[in-house]
């Protein structure tokens, strides 16, 4: 595994998320109760930017059509809705994270 330093732990308050772009890849870093997680910033439904959504209780809601993802795992926990139609959404990609000396490190491989 090759970890890349993406941020400092002090860059994110508790229950806050931040989009970071590394090598053309948009990663969404979240601080959930003092633990740090990383998933893709792009919603697998229609590419909405999850960083523009809402983080509530460890669940991120996509701003485009309301699909919901577990910020820890990227798992889809709520399908997208367009008007009255529900649309099945795939899981989002998650990335391994580790903390070293207040640095948030992510493995993009």
Give mean pLDDT in consecutive 10-residue pieces for the chain, a chain of 109 residues.
Answer: 92 95 93 96 86 95 90 91 76 95 94
* Burial class (CB within 10 angstroms; exposed 0-12, middle 13-18, buried 19+) of 62: buried
Is 77 within a domain?
A: yes
Query: Which pLDDT does position 62 carry in this prediction?
Result: 92
Is 82 within a domain?
A: yes
What CATH number corresponds to the domain at position 50?
2.102.10.10
Would you say the pTM of this structure is higher than 0.75? Answer: yes
What range defines the domain where residue 34 resides? 10-94
Is 1 within a domain?
A: no
The domain tally of the chain equals 1
Is 63 within a domain?
A: yes
Is 49 within a domain?
A: yes
Tell me if 30 sits within 8 A of 41, measured CB to CB: no
Tell me if 79 sits within 8 A of 89, measured CB to CB: yes
* Composition of the chain by helix, strand, coil, percent to 5: 5, 55, 40
Is 100 within a domain?
A: no
Is 51 within a domain?
A: yes
């Amino acid at each position: 595994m090759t970890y890349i330093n993406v941020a400092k732990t002090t860059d994110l308050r508790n229950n806050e998320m931040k989009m970071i772009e590394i090598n053309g890849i948009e990663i969404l870093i979240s601080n959930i109760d003092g633990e740090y997680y990383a998933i893709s910033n792009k919603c697998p439904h229609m590419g909405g930017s999850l960083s523009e959504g809402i983080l509530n209780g460890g669940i991120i809601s996509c701003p485009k059509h309301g699909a919901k993802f577990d910020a820890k795992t990227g798992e889809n926990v709520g399908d997208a809705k367009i008007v009255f139609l529900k649309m099945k959404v795939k899981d989002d990609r998650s990335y391994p994270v580790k903390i070293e000396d207040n640095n948030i490190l992510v493995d993009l491989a």
